[in-house]
Amino acid sequence: MNDYDPQSLERKWQRIWEESESYRTMVDEDKKSFYIIFAYPGISGYLHLGHMRCYTYTDFIARYKRMRGYNVLFPAGAHPTGNQVISLAKRVAEGDRNVMEYLRANGATDEDIRQLDSPKGIIDYFAKSYIKEWKNFGLSIDFSYFTDTSREDYSSFIRWQFKKLNDLGLLTQKPYYAPVCKNCGPVAVDPSETDLSKGGTAEVQEYTLLKFKFGSRYITAATLRPETVYGQTNLWVDPHEDYAVVKVDDEEWIMSDAAARKLGYQMDDVEVIGHISGREMIGKGAVAPMIHRQIPVLPAGFTDPDMGSGIVTSVPSDAPYDWIALKELKENRALLEEYGLEELVKEVEPVPIIDSKDWGSNPAERIILEMDIGSQGDVERLEEATQRIYRAGFHAGTMLGICGDYAGMPVQEAKDKIREEMMGSGEATPFYDLSEEVICRCGSDVVMGKIPDQWFIRYSDPELTEKSKVHARTMNIRPDTYGRTLPDILEWFQDRSCARLGNWIGTRFPLDDKWIIEAIADSTLYPAYYIVARHYNLGRFEAGQMTEAFFDFVFLGKGEADEVAGSTGIDTETLLEVRRDFTYWYPLDLNLGGKEHMTVHFPVFLMNHVAILDDKNWPQGIMVNWYLTMTGGKISKSKGGADPIPDVAERFGIDALRLYYAHSASPFVDKEWDEREAFNYRKRLGFIWRLVNRMRSVDGGESSVDDFLESRFNRLLERTFSFMDDYEIRKAANVVFYDMPAELEWYFKRGGENGALLDRLGETFVKLLSPFTPHMADELGELWDIKYVSEELIPDVDEVVISDEVEGREEYLRDVMDDIRNILSIADVSGDVIHIYVSPSWKKKVLEIALAETEKGMGLMSVLSKMLDVPPKRLSGYLRTILEDIKKNRDTVERDLALDEMKILQEDKSFIEREFEAEVNVHLASEDVYDPADRKDKAAPGKPAIYIE
């Protein structure tokens, strides 16, 4: 027997699989199909151990299904849509040091790097790299189906999909506000900062820009709390600031320069035509929106030109900032005098507008007193106060009587209505801003911009939503919790923009080619396309021939093959074959992806299938996996931080890593990567290796433990199947790699050495290893002269050999031995002689009757006392305990009753003697035997009495 040497045998088998085209997949009408995919990766860098978790799960299931007789389709692809590829290419072209280091650390050669300065180069390089890693992990993917979303054939498919969506009335255009870079167009603002160099945590603020009539102009003030307009008492401006006068349509609005610039991206024809100093406005009045009252403009120091419009409308009842600014102003004689505001300010008092549950109707005052905030300079604590008041008011507040039509309405509801009313009357307009500075990767500012004619997919469509929800409930979804919430997610799922302007990788929008279809929208139906891609990859037709009629025929069964052949120039036979492949493989059985897809990809994946394809082709299952993390954070492709896979694979072996994924945690929890653990799995495989070799080499005869092993093995086999059928990968791996070996070890310990049996079970066992550790399994399969274990079938469970009685015997023996061990550990005895007293037969009789007529309870005493010659006290005492036991665990009690304890103990006496290095005497408790410590009365069925000297 050789030692387990994963590295060399893994290389060997990967080469063999490659050469023999092991995972080539073809339609076979005699077999049930099983179609499984993982959500293909976006191209943004190398794969890491986190991705591999998901891909390996997919492979476990694909391999298992294959070995249970399914014809499995397991393709893969890559997803370069978006701008990551472009930005990476740009950084390579610039010679960005971090990028260079990252590439080199992952094994890119100078020659590789030279080709990486163009998007095409990046896509080709990484697509190859992904395929290499997948092969390196032993994934049983058929790469003849490979595609990527930048290819022209893929674009033909996507254009078809969008035509279908349009035909179904599911596309629409409407204005949209999004973060945009002035150079690059729309960008994603999120913590991973894929598109950004700064500001990933910024949030989009949806302001209401209020207009205050100010002579012939309007002063503008942006608020996040439009419902507080009823409490406006004044405006705050910075006397030292110059404000822009902006021409908007025919009106002139006053705001900070920064605000004017931002507004320019959100409205047409915004033009700065002059300036006005803050000082100039102070002391004058402006007509506030909604309340239509003149309120004064007052000086304040806390206004910020970069926030909102740079001018603040003051609601001292509800805004701590305003309250304290007002108080300070009233106390500042010098300032009042300077601007001549003494009289004016006297009349400015907070106006209660909201009754917020915990804070009353003047919450700003109350919280400032409570928190003892001294001045408007205490920004940090004022922020906190503002937050607290806002929460309390928003969630538990009601509008007071002063608020016109909104009196008595919950704040939550009033907020949107008041905003709408003011926008309707022209007193306000929407204004979007980011909560902090955001800089694009290209270096320029990111601002909120208006896209007036943004394309959306109408996921809010009631019929589509309903159909999707109904279907979702029938799907096989893991974990269950996600299955339960998916219908709610579909309900909540709103229209989603599906195309963008600018320079991106992707498919041109078929209705208007200035748009590029964006990354989520072009990745929903792609499992259907893999099937077509194989034929395209074989050169059977060109992208240009993949017309609407072509896809209608293949995916929807519309039209006649001959006609489609005529219009596309693809021959009829090929068309029929592609159509047949699609109908054979579809629907998709399982789609696996990380938890980030739960509210993004999976809903659109499902809804597009439901919208476009026949109901028999709707997807059947989804499995979500959680992340592999490293020291707290998610491993990020673009930011690095992960060990390159080849290094790790070289150190532990692929099979050890695969077992690590399968067994170290449930798929539905985040798992912290720990290489000591990986090493332990490496050791475990060494153990399995030796165990299998031993099974194959032992060559003894039959013994009494054979039937136990056969029964237990089949029971565990059954359990493995049932776990795998439920995609309970961890549980299945636990049975195969821990429970089964433990039973085999027990068998050996008991002296089992039946060569024929071990040979037969060993062969099955090796096949069971294969879905998890395919390299090792194929290597071990050579012991049985199996060419490729991974192409074998795992045999069915042999129900006949499963026997509770047979297994009960071994369990009984283990229990007795545990008891002996327990006694030895606490008793102060030499342990040279062990006496075991088997229960008297009357107790068995009691047990039997109690089991049969449990409902009679202690009433059984009358019949028992007549039947048995036992003192009533002992009889009732025992009956009481046994009734208790039956209630607790009937199965165990039944097992005990079925045991022939005397026979078992006598047969296995020598085994016990060997284990404890002691002399063992077995007695029947009802006989008059050696019993110096008066133990034998304690004997009960299944629990013999023990005395050790």
Partner RNA sequence: GCGAGGGUAGCCAAGCAUGGCCAAAGGCGCAGGACUUAAGAUCCUGUCACGUAGGUGUCCGAGGGUUCAAAUCCCUUCCCUCGCACCA
**Which residues partner with 456 through β-bridges?**
172, 497
Residue 141 binds to RNA (criterion: CB under 7 A): no
Assess contact for 342 and 336: CB atoms under 8 A: yes
For residues 103 and 120, what is the distance between their CA atoms, to the nearest angstrom? Answer: 17
Binding window for RNA (CB under 7 A); candidates: 161-169, 189-197, 547-555, 905-913 = 189-197
Residue 687 binds to RNA (criterion: CB under 7 A): yes
Name the minimum Å distance from CB 302 to RNA.
25
Among 332, 572, 722, 892, which residue sits at the site for RNA (rule: CB under 7 A)? 892
Assess contact for 141 and 23: CB atoms under 8 A: yes
For residues 692 and 1, what is the distance between their CA atoms, to the nearest angstrom? Answer: 10
For residues 474 and 291, what is the distance between their CA atoms, to the nearest angstrom? Answer: 54
Closest CA to 238 of 286, 276, 288, 287: 276
Residue 465 binds to RNA (criterion: CB under 7 A): no
Name the minimum Å distance from CB 729 to RNA.
11
Name the minimum Å distance from CB 654 to RNA.
15
Name the minimum Å distance from CB 81 to RNA.
6
Among 14, 34, 41, 47, which residue sits at the site for RNA (rule: CB under 7 A)? 41
The end-to-end CA distance of the chain, in Å, is 44
Closest CA to 307 of 443, 435, 159: 435
DSSP character for 586? P
Q: What is the largest CA-CA distance in the chain?
A: 119
For residues 768 and 75, what is the distance between their CA atoms, to the nearest angstrom? Answer: 23
Assess contact for 238 and 299: CB atoms under 8 A: yes
By beta-carbon proximity to RNA, the closer residue of 493 and 550 is 493
For residues 626 and 598, what is the distance between their CA atoms, to the nearest angstrom? Answer: 11
Among 153, 252, 427, 518, which residue sits at the site for RNA (rule: CB under 7 A)? 518
By beta-carbon proximity to RNA, the closer residue of 61 and 324 is 61
Burial class (CB in 10 A: 0-12, 13-18, 19+), 897: middle
Name the minimum Å distance from CB 596 to RNA.
3
Among residue numbers 363 through 422, which ones bind RNA (CB under 7 A)? Answer: 391, 395
For residues 665 and 685, what is the distance between their CA atoms, to the nearest angstrom? Answer: 17
Burial class (CB in 10 A: 0-12, 13-18, 19+), 933: exposed
Residue 774 binds to RNA (criterion: CB under 7 A): no
By beta-carbon proximity to RNA, the closer residue of 585 and 626 is 626
Residue 896 binds to RNA (criterion: CB under 7 A): yes
Binding window for RNA (CB under 7 A); candidates: 181-189, 323-331, 759-767, 870-878 = 181-189
Among residue numbers 431 through 460, which ones bind RNA (CB under 7 A)? Answer: 454, 456, 459
By beta-carbon proximity to RNA, the closer residue of 140 and 149 is 149
Among residue numbers 706 through 765, which ones bind RNA (CB under 7 A)? Answer: 730-731, 734, 738, 745
Closest CA to 161 of 574, 497, 555, 580: 555
Backbone phi, psi, residue 177, to 5°: -110, 130
Name the minimum Å distance from CB 393 to RNA.
12
Among residue numbers 591 through 630, which ones bind RNA (CB under 7 A)? Answer: 595-601
For residues 755 and 697, what is the distance between their CA atoms, to the nearest angstrom? Answer: 8
What are the tokens at 305? Answer: 């030109």
By beta-carbon proximity to RNA, the closer residue of 217 and 719 is 719
Binding window for RNA (CB under 7 A); candidates: 156-164, 354-362, 785-793, 819-827 = 819-827
Closest CA to 789 of 79, 95, 138: 138
What residue type is assigned to position 663 of the chain? H
Mark 477-506 with x for binding to RNA (rule: CB under 7 A) and - for no binding.
Answer: ----xx-xx--xx--xxx-xxx-x------
By beta-carbon proximity to RNA, the closer residue of 669 and 793 is 669
Among 275, 683, 880, 903, which residue sits at the site for RNA (rule: CB under 7 A)? 683
Among 33, 36, 42, 309, which residue sits at the site for RNA (rule: CB under 7 A)? 42
Q: Cα dist. 459→462, 475, 520, 597, 781 in Å?
A: 8, 19, 13, 16, 51
Among 182, 473, 580, 821, which residue sits at the site for RNA (rule: CB under 7 A)? 821
For tokens 């029938």, the residue is 474
Q: For RNA, how many residues bind (rule: CB under 7 A)?
A: 97
For residues 96 and 93, what is the distance between their CA atoms, to the nearest angstrom? Answer: 8
Among 84, 256, 356, 465, which residue sits at the site for RNA (rule: CB under 7 A)? 84
DSSP character for 750? T
By beta-carbon proximity to RNA, the closer residue of 54 and 297 is 54
By beta-carbon proximity to RNA, the closer residue of 679 and 788 is 679
Among residue numbers 623 through 682, which ones bind RNA (CB under 7 A)? Answer: 634, 651, 664-666, 669-672, 675-677, 679-680
What are the tokens at 579? Answer: 């159509």
What are the tokens at 817? Answer: 């031995």
Name the minimum Å distance from CB 304 to RNA.
25
Assess contact for 388 and 402: CB atoms under 8 A: no
Among residue numbers 928 through 947, which ones bind RNA (CB under 7 A)? Answer: 933, 935, 938, 942-947
Binding window for RNA (CB under 7 A); candidates: 349-357, 427-435, 512-520, 777-785 = 512-520
DSSP E strands in 291-427: the ranges are: 294-299, 312-314, 354-356, 397-399
Name the minimum Å distance from CB 331 to RNA.
35
For residues 57 and 79, what is the distance between their CA atoms, to the nearest angstrom? Answer: 20
Among residue numbers 828 through 847, which ones bind RNA (CB under 7 A)? Answer: 828-829
Closest CA to 536 of 517, 550, 553, 519: 550
Binding window for RNA (CB under 7 A); candidates: 243-251, 346-354, 530-538, 821-829 = 821-829
DSSP character for 889? -
By beta-carbon proximity to RNA, the closer residue of 190 and 420 is 190
Mark 299-338 with x for binding to RNA (rule: CB under 7 A) and - for no binding.
Answer: ----------------------------------------
Residue 512 binds to RNA (criterion: CB under 7 A): no
Residue 182 binds to RNA (criterion: CB under 7 A): no
Among 819, 868, 911, 921, which residue sits at the site for RNA (rule: CB under 7 A)? 819
Name the minimum Å distance from CB 513 to RNA.
17
Name the minimum Å distance from CB 314 to RNA.
25
